[in-house]
Structure 1
């Protein structure tokens, strides 16, 4: 089964397989399965109607490219208004209060993000 260009594996259970989609986590996947009443079924066991219903239900959520652009715009807004969190993003430092003296080595590595080019 393919959803928005993502190959969902047929041999896994539905609630685990749809977690591969960016923006669908554990709670959302369980909620979708309960709503559609397809608990403990594999994707390969679904009939055509259930696959269509699953596809329609997944389209109600903000996923993949739309979610990534929304996150990007939120970070961009923080940088533009020069908030504390925006400056932390701009300087490649942790933005949620973590310590930086001994930890955050991976966050401090210089990465080129796409939101810096246009600032």
Structure 2
């Protein structure tokens, strides 16, 4: 398997489809990176030369794209900042409810978790 920044990407897929395996690189970013690196997007990852892999890594660094651990840390720091200043979004993050104005009367099951039935006493 080919490695870029210590992340293994599948050999049997096209490089355009393999790059999104890196956290922080989506399909559009992958296309743009390959265009700037001058690498054909249809080449299989296993057929890439070492120079082409290095060139892709250089383009990622020069673009200033946050990937993997750095991006996760940045997102975590942003959420921590919101919760520490006690803003509305921070409180919603802390309580585990939707943050961006979605309804919660029905739906929002992913964010709220498994349904807990509230019993009625007789």
Q: Same fold (TM over 0.5)?
A: yes
Name the residue aligned to 1:56: 58
**Secondary structure class of the residue paired with 1:7:** strand
- 1:109 CA displacement: 1.8
Deviation at 1:33, TM superposition (A): 1.0
Question: Distance in 1 between the 2:80 and 2:104 partners?
Answer: 23
Distance in 1, matches of 2:24 and 2:48, equals 22
User: Distance between the aligned counterparts of 1:75 and 1:47, measured in 2?
Assistant: 40
- Cα distance in 2 for partners of 1:45, 1:106 equals 41
Look up the match of 1:25. Answer: 26
Which consecutive unaligned segments of at least 5 residues does structure 1 have? Answer: 111-119
Superposition RMSD on alpha carbons, in Å? 1.4
Q: TM-score, normalising length from structure 2?
A: 0.83
1:78 paired with 2:82, answer yes
Name the residue aligned to 1:113.
Answer: none
Instruction: Compare CA radii of gyration and give the structure with the larger one.
Output: 2
Question: Deviation string for 1:55-89 (max 9, x for gaps)?
Answer: 22233421001100000000000011111100000
Runs of at least 5 residues in structure 2 that lack an aligned partner in the other structure: 115-122
Matching residue of 1:96: 100
The reply to whether residue 40 of structure 1 matches residue 10 of structure 2 is no
Q: TM-score normalised to the size of structure 1? A: 0.85
How many residue pairs match? The answer is: 110
